[in-house]
Chains A and B, each alone.
Chain A
Amino acid sequence: DGGITQSPKYLFRKEGQNVTLSCEQNLNHDAMYWYRQDPGQGLRLIYYSQIVNDFQKGDIAEGYSVSREKKESFPLTVTSAQKNPTAFYLCASMRTLPPEAFFGQGTRLTVV
């Protein structure tokens, strides 16, 4: 079955560490997105990529980095510069026509 796979489901980070969240899709979609979700809030866009080897900052990119070397993969690195990284992270890809976003199951990151 086609879909979005995020891993790991739970991730714990120590202060000062960088961690990388994986996102893989087999839907053959060009566009992929990373969102952050905090309790009681909607989803906020971190980074997005509309084509391989290109990506753009979203609304809250500070303290995060991404790469898009393959169409199928869009990993997100949470760097030590991100002051409040504890959150639920969601990856998505977008079908063009008709427009529809497909989401992974999310990664819950906790700073310990």
Chain B
Amino acid sequence: GDSVTQMEGPVTLSEEAFLTINCTYTATGYPSLFWYVQYPGEGLQLLLKATKADDKGSNKGFEATYRKETTSFHLEKGSVQVSDSAVYFCALTLTGGTSYGKLTFGQGTILTVHP
């Protein structure tokens, strides 16, 4: 079946450090890929997405590129802030068939940024 694997956390960084959270996937079709962010006690918010190979999603200084050859969608940010502290989820959904719209999530990575 489809699956998403994220790097194990938690991740602790100092403000202005470079961030990478690795995400790899397996899928039987042609997935769309997403990064969601969850702040304490809240639901998930879409951070960025990519719907086909080589697409780059970007938002709020975060970037991720859809790499079909390595089945990866790593999240990066050049300079993190304290306000980026949250849980980050990588996810995929297939774009057709009976599984359409069902999101498969990674286990989440807790990011803590210290001043």
- A residues near B44, Cβ cutoff 8 Å: 43, 90, 92, 101, 103
Is B25 in the interface zone, CB < 8 Å from A?
no
- A residues near B32, Cβ cutoff 8 Å: 98-99
User: What 1/0 flags go to B80-108 for Cβ under 8 Å of A?
Assistant: 00000000010001010000111101111
Asked whether, in the complex, the Cβ of A43 is within 8 Å of the Cβ of B89, the reply is yes
Count how many chain A residues have C-beta atoms less than 8 Å from C-beta atoms of the other chain.
Answer: 26
Assess A50 versus B101: contact at CB under 8 Å? Given A105-B42, A106-B43.
yes
Asked whether, in the complex, the Cβ of A43 is within 8 Å of the Cβ of B43, the reply is no
Q: How far is the CB of B26 from chain A (nearest CB, A)?
A: 15
Is A2 in the interface zone, CB < 8 Å from B?
no
User: What 1/0 flags go to A30-59 for Cβ under 8 Å of B?
Assistant: 010100000011110100101000000010
- A residues near B102, Cβ cutoff 8 Å: 33, 45, 48, 58
- A residues near B45, Cβ cutoff 8 Å: 103
Is A19 in the interface zone, CB < 8 Å from B?
no
Q: Which of A67-88 contact B (CB under 8 A)?
A: none
When C-beta atoms are compared, the residue in chain B nearest to A106 turns out to be B43
User: Considering the chains assembled together, what is the distance between the CA atoms of A2 and B47 in angstroms?
Assistant: 18
Q: How far is the CB of A42 from chain B (nearest CB, A)?
A: 4
Q: How far is the CB of B49 from chain A (nearest CB, A)?
A: 7
User: Considering the chains assembled together, what is the distance between the CA atoms of A42 and B4 in angstroms?
Assistant: 10
- CB < 8 Å: which of B41, B93, B100, B106 contacts A42? B106
Asked whether, in the complex, the Cβ of B101 is within 8 Å of the Cβ of A43, the reply is no
Is A94 in the interface zone, CB < 8 Å from B?
yes
User: What 1/0 flags go to A95-112 for Cβ under 8 Å of B?
Assistant: 010111111111010000
**Would you mind naming 9 contact pairs between A and B with Cβ atoms under 8 Å apart?**
A33-B103, A40-B108, A48-B101, A50-B100, A58-B102, A92-B103, A101-B34, A101-B101, A108-B41
